[in-house]
Amino acid sequence: MPISKSKIKQIASLQQKKYRLKEGLFIVEGTKVVDEFLNSNFELECVFCVQDVSEKYKNYHPTIVTEVELKKISSLKSPNKILTLFKIHKNKNISDTDLKLVLDDVNDPGNLGTIIRLCDWFGIEELICSKNTVDCYNTKVIQSTMGSLTRVRVYYVDLKLYLSKVKVPIYIADMDGENIYRADLPKNGIIVMGNEANGVSSEVKEFSSNTLSIPRFGTLRATESLNVATATSIILSEFKRSIGRLD
């Protein structure tokens, strides 16, 4: 049975956050990323795949589609054999231990995807985002995280409310802070990264106990700032390096 027009329309609608929230579903595509989600605690809704991988996915009761149909439902330029829908996680409570990363209005899906991969690499299991941070179930984010989202829990919260209640030190990344290479960094704490253009908002800055900066080494007129994803990688590396030295 070919895939119905209404189903095509429903899947296409999931490229928008509003419909993802309404339906509680998001799209995962391509065998590699799909396999990671199938092996995670995300709950599968349904599978659409082309004939030549149908045997591999037969236990998931796939709907077989043609390449042309796959192209219609896919958000990728070059669809890759399989498209699945998974259920959006309901948020558990955020833990009050460990090192956590907070994003204050990060806008770019590529940056969020890179940051989720970094959290996965550095063992940061909870990523807390402001309500205006780009949605982690955005198809571009899902495809660029390469499955890391199955290992990092992402929360969207009222940041001011959240930060007002935490008991660990809060570190803001900003241009005029303490030299991070000289700072004494704790194992537990909260690191806040800001928006691509505006940095951390002044409202959120009020909650910080510390401001950290990555020194600039260029001797000529220098680049304005590091990209938020590369700055995050350096900051997470600094927080983790004392543990990393012991491994």
Question: Which residues lie near a copy of itself (CB under 8 A)?
Answer: 39, 110, 114, 117-118, 120-123, 146-148, 151, 179, 181-182, 214-224, 226-227, 229-231, 233-234, 237-238, 240-241, 243-245, 247
Least Å distance, CB 199 to a copy of itself, is 16
Write out the H or E segment, with its range, that includes residue 210: strand 210-213
Task: Identify the sign of the CA torsion 215, 218, 219, 225.
Answer: negative
The nearer residue to a copy of itself, 167 or 217, going by C-beta atoms, is 217
The smaller minimum CB distance to a copy of itself, of residues 88 and 234, is found at 234
Amino acid (1-letter code) at residue 140: K
Q: Which is nearer to a copy of itself, 55 or 176 (CB)?
A: 176
Alpha-carbon distance 83 to 3, whole Å?
13
Smallest gap from residue 63 Cβ to a copy of itself (A): 28
Q: Which of 28, 1, 36 is nearest to 87 (CA)?
A: 28
Specify the residue, 62 or 109, whose C-beta has the smaller distance to a copy of itself. 109
CB 235 within 8 A of CB 192: no
Task: List the structure tokens of 90.
Answer: 């309901």
Nearer to a copy of itself, 34 or 65 (CB): 34
Q: By three-state DSSP, how is residue 118 classified?
A: helix
Provide, rounded to whole angstroms, the least separation between the CB of residue 144 and a copy of itself.
9
Cβ 109 to a copy of itself shortest distance, Å: 13
| Minimum gap (Å) between residue 9 Cβ and a copy of itself | 27
Instruction: Compute the chain's Rg from CA coordinates.
Output: 20
Residue 19 C-alpha from the chain's centroid: 19
